Amino acid sequence: LAKTTQPISMDSYEGQEVNITCSHNNIATNDYITWYQQFPSQGPRFIIQGYKTKVTNEVASLFIPADRKSSTLSLPRVSLSDTAVYYCLVGALSGGYNKLIFGAGTRLAVHP
């Protein structure tokens, strides 16, 4: 299971774009990259997942360079409600489900 490294914390202001980069140097060929968001006293919530290049959904974009050794979660125009912990995880595509090992995550604080 590939280990991930993220900044421990980040600060931003409402309306700004936030980019959180995750390093996963030992990512395997079968590994997907998935980002989760967690609010206090709640279970993690899926944000976005990708394998390579760029993925975009209604809440975020995920940029993955060709070597896949890192990835960047981009949150456009954050609001106070985006204050949360964001986890980057890598796991094998197993046709069903894979065991997810959480790193420390990035604690994002959005200020007025």
Partner 1 sequence: GAVVSQHPSRVICKSGTSVKIECRSLDFQATTMFWYRQFPKQSLMLMATSNEGSKATYEQGVEKDKFLINHASLTLSTLTVTSAHPEDSSFYICSAGQGGGTEAFFGQGTRLTVV
Residue 17 near residue 101 (C-beta atoms within 8 A): no
Which residue type, as a one-letter code, is found at position 105?
Answer: G
Among 28, 80, 104, 109, the residue binding partner 1 under the rule CB under 8 A is 104
| Least CB distance to partner 1 at residue 79 (A) | 22
Residue 31 near residue 90 (C-beta atoms within 8 A): yes
| Least CB distance to partner 1 at residue 56 (A) | 16
Q: Binding of partner 1 at residue 8 (CB under 8 A)?
A: no
Among 9, 46, 52, 59, the residue binding partner 1 under the rule CB under 8 A is 46
Classify residue 7 as exposed, middle or buried by CB count within 10 Å of its CB (0-12, 13-18, 19+): middle
Among 49, 72, 74, 83, the residue binding partner 1 under the rule CB under 8 A is 49
